[in-house]
Amino acid sequence: MTRYHEFHRHSIDEPEAFWRNEATRIHWETPFHTVLDRSNPPFARWFVGGRTNLCHNAVDRHLAQRAQQNALIYVSTETGIERKYTYAELYAEVNRMAAVMRALGVKRGERVLIYLPMIPEAVFAMLACARLGAVHSVVFGGFAAPNLAARIDDAQPVLIVTADAGARAGKVIDYAPLIDEALSRAAHKTPRVLLIDRQLTPEKLVAPYLVDYEPLREQFFHAHVQCEWLESNEPSYVLYTSGTTGRPKGVQRDVGGYAVALAASMEYIFQGQPGDTMFTASDVGWVVGHSYIVYAPLLAGLTTVMYEGTPIRPDGGIWWRLVQKYGINLMFTAPTALRVLKKQDPALLKQADLSSLRTLFLAGEPLDEPTATWIAQALGKPVVDNFWQTETGWPILAIQRGVEALPQKLGSPGVPVYGYQLSLRNELTGEACAPGEKGVVTLGYPLPPGCMSTVWGDDSRFASTYWSGAPDQPSYSTFDWGIQDDDGYVTILGRTDDVINVAGHRLGTREIEEALLSHKAVAEVAVVGVTDPVKGQVALAFTVLRDAARYEADDARAALETELTATVDRQLGAIARPARVHVVAMLPKTRSGKLLRRAIAALAEGRDPGDLPTIEDPSALQLIRDALTAQIPVPVPHR
Residue 248 or 311 with smaller CB distance to ligand ATP: 248
381 and 375 Cβ atoms separated by less than 8 Å: no
123 and 303 Cβ atoms separated by less than 8 Å: no
- Shortest Cβ 454–ligand ATP spacing (Å): 15
Residue 104 or 515 with smaller CB distance to ligand ATP: 515
413 binds, among ligand ATP, Mg ion, none (CB under 5 to 8 A by kind): ligand ATP
297 binds, among ligand ATP, Mg ion, none (CB under 5 to 8 A by kind): none
365 binds, among ligand ATP, Mg ion, none (CB under 5 to 8 A by kind): ligand ATP
386 binds, among ligand ATP, Mg ion, none (CB under 5 to 8 A by kind): ligand ATP
Residue ranges in 223-252 that form contacts with Mg ion under rule CB under 5 A: 241
- Shortest Cβ 28–ligand ATP spacing (Å): 29
496 binds, among Mg ion, ligand ATP, none (CB under 5 to 8 A by kind): none
Total Cβ atoms within 10 A of residue 177:
13
- Shortest Cβ 241–Mg ion spacing (Å): 5
Residue 22 or 283 with smaller CB distance to ligand ATP: 283
492 binds, among Mg ion, ligand ATP, none (CB under 5 to 8 A by kind): ligand ATP
Residue 98 or 602 with smaller CB distance to ligand ATP: 602
Residues that bind ligand ATP (CB under 6 A): 241-245, 248, 287, 363-366, 385-390, 413, 478, 480, 492, 495, 592, 594
Name which of 146, 143, 140, 139 is nearest 181 in CA terms. 146
- Shortest Cβ 495–Mg ion spacing (Å): 8
427 and 439 Cβ atoms separated by less than 8 Å: yes
Residue 98 or 331 with smaller CB distance to ligand ATP: 331
HSE (CB half, 13 Å, CA atoms) of 244? 23
24 burial (CB, 10 Å; 0-12 / 13-18 / 19+) is exposed
Residue 317 or 413 with smaller CB distance to Mg ion: 413
Q: Degrees (nearest 5) of the Cα angle 233, 237, 238?
A: 115
Name which of 524, 517, 535 is nearest 597 in CA terms. 524
3-state SS of 202-269 is CCCCCCCCEEEHHHHHHHCCCCCCCCCCEECCCCCEEEECCCCCCCCCEEEECCHHHHHHHHHHHHHC
Residue 236 or 389 with smaller CB distance to ligand ATP: 389
Number of residues that bind Mg ion (CB under 5 A): 1
- Shortest Cβ 593–Mg ion spacing (Å): 14
Calpha distance 182→157 (Å, rounded): 13
- Shortest Cβ 538–ligand ATP spacing (Å): 23
What are the beta bridge partners of residue 459? none
Residue 61 or 597 with smaller CB distance to Mg ion: 597
**Beta strand 475-484 pairing with 490-495:** antiparallel
Residues near 415 by Cβ (< 8 Å), separated by ≥ 6? 4, 8, 397, 398, 399, 400, 406, 487, 488, 489, 490
311 binds, among ligand ATP, Mg ion, none (CB under 5 to 8 A by kind): none
- Shortest Cβ 335–ligand ATP spacing (Å): 8
Residues that bind Mg ion (CB under 5 A): 241
